A and B are shown apart, each in its own frame.
Chain A
Amino acid sequence: MDTTVFVPIPDDAPAPGAGAAVTPAVRARALTKTYGHGEAEVRALDGVDVDFAAGRFTAIMGPSGSGKSTLMHLLAGLDSATSGQAFVGSTEVTGMNDKALTALRRSRVGFVFQQFNLLPMFTAEQNITLPVELAGGTVDREWLGTLVDTLSLGKRLTHRPSELSGGQQQRVAIARALVAQPDVVFADEPTGNLDSRSGAEVLSFLRRSVRELGRTIIMVTHDPAAAAYADRVVLIADGRIAGDITDPTPESALAGLDALRTVGAR
């Protein structure tokens, strides 16, 4: 396939996007994570350097077990790195204590999960506003209205999760991730549990959040079609950054993945 946009990046090359005038929303520097010891040691991440620009929708793709989730956990401060650094804005999250991390998650980072993870005993609205309440803040009604409109949740606010479809639940989860106006939203396979139509719906809402509301979203996905909604795809293989696709299409994303597989198979 000669239309490939796959550009292998040497290990010692400067991180993509480095040198841009604005500080990236999220950065990784020599980020490494190993699990286990000795024989059983697994290098889930191996010296990753990557920047994610603010106001962009970035997808992370790679074969299963390549370290996508691990990268995301470390960037979001959900897990501790073995070495290297991760930054949200200019704040280093690696080495933060639990208190600081909690504060970070409250105001600067949002999450969207594959399983939605809404609280079953609360209504959609209560679920959406929960992060602000946990932080002891007051809900910005105007912003909430904007979110609800953008995500078309107006009629569903008083429903409980069990009364919502999977796509609706995931939209509620997106609203919950955005309600505190975080610097960045991480989404790990947000469409993994949805049929293709609801998946497409959710993805276009994610893209609208970036385009219309100016949010920053980093999404892990397996699906080249999903990745095509993003502004950029970061490819990862064997715990290393293995490629970068700007303005991906389903075809270019798939091609990128395929190239990784052939590399991996070699």
Chain B
Amino acid sequence: MIRITLAQMRRSVGRLAAAGIAIVIGTAFVAVTLLAGNVITSTTYDSIAAQYRGSDLVAGGVPVDDAGLDAVRQVAGVSSADEQLLSFQQLEHGNRTIFQGVLATPSDPAMLPLDLADGALPAGAGQIALPPDVAERFGVEVGEDITLVRNTLVDADADVWEWEEAREQLTVTGIVDDPYGAYSMFGGAAVAPATEVQAWEADLLAPGEVSTEPSTVLVGLDDGADVEQTRAAIDTALSSAVTAAGGDASDLEVVTPTEHAESVAAQMTGGDNIIFTTFVLVFAAVALLVAALVIANTFQVLVAQRTRTLALLRCVGADKGQLRRSVLFEASVLGLASSALGILLGTGIAQAALTIGSGMDLGIPLPTSIDITPAVVIAPLVVGTLVTLVAALAPARAATRVAPLAALRPADAPSSARGAGRFRLIASLVATVIGFVVLGGGVAISTVGDAPSDGILVALLGGSMSFVGVLVGSVFWLPRVVALAGRLVGASGPTARLAAANTLRNPRRTAATSTALLIGVTLVGMMSTAAASARLTMDSELDARYPVDVTVSSDLSGDGSDAAAMPVGLAGAIGDVDGVATVVEVPATLSGLTGPGVDPGAEVMVRGVTPDDATSVLRSPEMVAPLAAGTVVVPEGIAEVWSITDGQTLTFDRPDGELEVTAAVTELQDDAVVVVPADLATLDAAAPTTALYVGLEHPGDAASVVPDIQDVVADTEAPVNVMGAAVERAGFEQVIDTALAIVVGLLGVAVVIALIGVANTLSLSVIERRRESATLRAIGLSKGQLRGMLAVEGVLIALVGAVLGVLLGLVYGWTGAAAALGWAGEPAIVVPWADVSLMIGVALVAGLVASVVPARSAVKTSPVEALATE
């Protein structure tokens, strides 16, 4: 039987290859994911253990004095042992001051976790090596001097400790890099001789005081020393030394840097890389699911085409089990071979990415070669083979149903006329309906019930359930949709009518092919719709929260107490910054406030803005809509603090005069009430301009425009604060965009596999319909028309999948956004037209492209074949 199976496989090698490609891509995806996880793990470990780079063992958890260090140094196999010492010191040069961590040089320079980039390490007193950033900010080069400013505790007994400032000249002997970011938290580390650093630290202690802080001892081993033995010996030596000094040695730990990294990573709730890997593996799963559909499809066709052979085998005595095993054996061979190829492809891609990545400056050193662990090989191999096997189960069952009689019937084009079962229809209907109800429930819980975290979970459950229902039921409704679409295009001519009729010949296959695409497109559509909705919801929320793009304010404390006038000309200078649309000067004064029901002693900042200016600069002008002479706009927050009610009369009093106005409470978010400038003048004719409201041309550009504004402000040297609400907004938008780009990229793999599926299906149809194509050619179908027919078929299948996917994606995207962001305000219903048209465009082009190769082989068919007897 195996011989027959292999012979059959050899005959259908082209078709098998088509199915194999889907698995190759799927497993390559899994392999790349796992490899990326490994790289992330090793870079994470490298950076976690970066402070111990160069050390063989690290002892920590107990305070260690010189006696302890000596004890460690005595241990056989230990080549060096030093306390890891980082001291923070104030360094000065020119008029710049930097507070910098300074590392003590270890006795063995190889144990220094930093790399010497230039010059030499400091060898004696008065020398220091600096991180490149610090040297640059000071503008010093190797050989120049900087100043160390440090304080010495002179009298710790007095009520107030007394310090003495000392200034010393230090010569910069070298520049030290921190490639693994061991001290990136402190902006790198400088290096000074150990004796110096120890002395600086000692000066911070009161005379006679001994540090009881646990210290870390970095140990270097002799070549060939046994790590475990030495570790035990160090442990013994150190604990007896600590106990002898009266310390508690129970926290003592001697570990290798890798062990340290592992335990730290484990403490970090599983570690980022695990979350990353899981996240990406979910998408790999989607890709594999789609691949499974493509494979199941291919096998279905293979079995259908071999009906006669299978029946013949049955006639000559093969039993059902043998046929099933034959198909499954074929699937395992295909699965194994494709998975192996996929792993090769995946490792190739990962290695290429690493090579390219290390060529670019990514800020972290990447390993130069990928780390192929057993998991990287075994997991994709097992998953790929299993997916292929599972996909082949249904076709294998179909193979067993071939009656021996089929061998005697005339050869007809294989067709799977058998409809899907009633059970499937009911199950799919139930899942779809209940799923959508639950989805709606989730949205309600989130928006009406105000419990977003529960709502999202419920919505997720409902959404997944309904999607499964839709997919399972696709065999019933998808062909109908294709028929409808076919009828539409069929009106355009006989070629299109032929194509439309062809897509309906095998509804199951068409449904499966379209469904494969539908999955990917739905998910991509969902993500982009949700992102667009989320962004719009967020926008209106942000409009309300940050009504002004950028506020430049001299009111540093926020209560008006120290507000000074803006530097003259600043408004004009900011107005000249590229990307700034409007600048409004806002004068303000602090005023007492009385009124019926208003809490006594009320005092507020009163700003003067003209209604026109307010409309032009505010993102949510409706919040100052009531602004007019005689009216004061009171932000909700202030109204609450002082018990001000909407529509009541308020009286402001200032030395310059009194003002009676009507209060209009709005949702404005501000720490001041707003009146028109004329009213403000009544209160304080000389009210200083304490704020500039800056409107940007595109709030999305905030990240680049706001620093320019900050530069302009910094030039004036005035104590003025720049608050870029738009920066925060741009940040939110960027987070959404980046996440979306990653997710869409990952799901794109599924779409690519599905498109291969479309090409696959078309190729199979072409092979299957050889005689028919020849007949059509014989009765007058031109080559162009044949190509056109296949193109229309491809486009129909792809477009129906894509359009339905987009529609489903819109529904899921909206409900998802509503469930996730319902709390943040009215969920916005947005159609991301650009993304939608892109997806449909891609499907259209892909459908056309998918038909190219099959069409090429179809037009090669000579019409003579229509006359051939078999």
Contacts and interface: CB of A to CB of B under 8 A. Distances in A.
Interface stretch (A14-22, A86-94, A129-137, A239-247): A129-137
Interface in A114-152: 114-115, 117, 119-122, 130-131, 133-136
A193 B410 contact: yes
B780 interface: yes
A78 interface: yes
Question: Most chain-A CB neighbours within 10 Å: which of B780, B782, B783?
Answer: B780
Interface stretch (A52-60, A98-106, A209-217, A223-231): A98-106
B348 to A, nearest CB: 42
A111 B868 CA distance: 13
- Chain B interface, >50% SS class: helix
A78 B778 contact: yes
B494 A117 contact: no
B504 interface: yes
Interface string B775-795: 111111111010000000000
A177 B497 CA distance: 20
Nearest to B413: A120
Nearest to A79: B864
Nearest to A105: B780
A102 B782 contact: yes
A171 interface: no
A135 B779 CA distance: 10
Interface in A29-76: 69, 72-73
Contacts of A135: 780
Contacts of B501: 119, 121-122
A79 B779 contact: no
A105 B778 contact: yes
Question: Most chain-A CB neighbours within 10 Å: which of B494, B502, B505, B771?
Answer: B494
B779 A78 contact: no
Contacts of A102: 777, 780-783
A45 B783 CA distance: 28
A176 B866 CA distance: 15
Contact of B867 (A114, A120, A134, A193): A114
Given A120-B413, A192-B869, A99 B863 contact: no
Interface string B644-685: 000000000000000000000000000000000000000000
A121 B505 contact: yes
Nearest to A118: B775
B866 A117 contact: yes
Contact of A111 (B778, B862, B869): B778
B539 interface: no
A120 B779 contact: no
A120 B506 CA distance: 12
A8 B615 CA distance: 107
Contacts of A130: 494, 776, 779
Contacts of A122: 501
B774 to A, nearest CB: 8
A180 B780 CA distance: 10
Nearest to B504: A121
B866 A111 contact: yes
B837 interface: no
B781 A114 contact: no
B369 interface: no
B781 A120 contact: no
Given A102-B782, A120-B505, A73 B864 contact: yes
Interface in B59-109: none
A193 B410 CA distance: 10
Nearest to A129: B494
Contacts of B737: none
A177 to B, nearest CB: 8
B284 to A, nearest CB: 38
A183 interface: no
Given A78-B864, A102-B780, A102-B781, A117 B775 contact: yes
B195 interface: no
Contacts of A115: 771, 869
B416 interface: no
Contacts of B863: 78, 105
A78 B862 contact: yes
A180 B843 CA distance: 38
A194 to B, nearest CB: 12
B867 A133 contact: no
A30 B580 CA distance: 88
A113 B866 contact: yes
B603 interface: no
Contacts of B505: 120-121
Given A98-B783, A99-B782, A73 B867 contact: yes
Nearest to A187: B867
Interface string B831-870: 0000000000000000000000000000000111011010
Contact of B772 (A78, A119, A176, A189): A119
B716 interface: no
A170 B815 CA distance: 57
Contacts of A188: 867
Interface string B483-515: 000000000011101100110110000000000
A107 B782 CA distance: 13
B184 to A, nearest CB: 67
Given A120-B505, A121-B505, A130-B494, A113 B780 contact: no
B869 A114 contact: yes
Nearest to A99: B782
Given A122-B501, A134-B494, A113 B867 contact: yes
Contacts of A119: 498, 501, 772, 775-776
A131 B415 CA distance: 25
B771 A133 contact: no
Nearest to A166: B410
A218 to B, nearest CB: 13
Given A98-B783, A102-B780, A134-B785, A78 B867 contact: yes
A79 B864 CA distance: 7
Contacts of B502: 121
B498 to A, nearest CB: 8
Contact of B781 (A99, A110, A134, A176): A134
B491 to A, nearest CB: 13
Given A79-B862, A133-B494, A113 B775 contact: yes
Contacts of A193: 410
Contacts of B778: 78, 105, 111, 113
Contacts of A134: 494-495, 776, 779-782, 785
A220 to B, nearest CB: 9
Question: Most chain-B CB neighbours within 10 Å: which of A72, A79, A111, A119?
Answer: A119
Interface in A164-201: 176-177, 180, 188-189, 192-193
Contacts of B776: 119, 130, 134
A237 to B, nearest CB: 21
Given A115-B771, A120-B413, A105 B779 contact: yes
A111 B783 CA distance: 18
A141 to B, nearest CB: 17
A193 B474 CA distance: 39
A95 B863 CA distance: 16
Nearest to B501: A121
Given A119-B772, A122-B501, A131 B779 contact: yes
7 contacts: A98-B783, A105-B779, A117-B771, A120-B505, A121-B505, A133-B494, A134-B779
Q: Top 8 closest A-B pairs, CB basis? A: A106-B780, A133-B494, A117-B775, A121-B501, A102-B782, A131-B779, A134-B780, A105-B780
Interface of B: 410, 412-413, 415, 493-495, 497-498, 501-502, 504-505, 771-772, 775-783, 785, 862-864, 866-867, 869
Given A105-B863, A120-B413, A121-B505, 16 more contacts: A78-B863, A79-B862, A98-B782, A102-B777, A105-B777, A110-B779, A111-B867, A113-B867, A114-B867, A117-B775, A119-B776, A122-B501, A133-B493, A134-B781, A176-B779, A180-B780
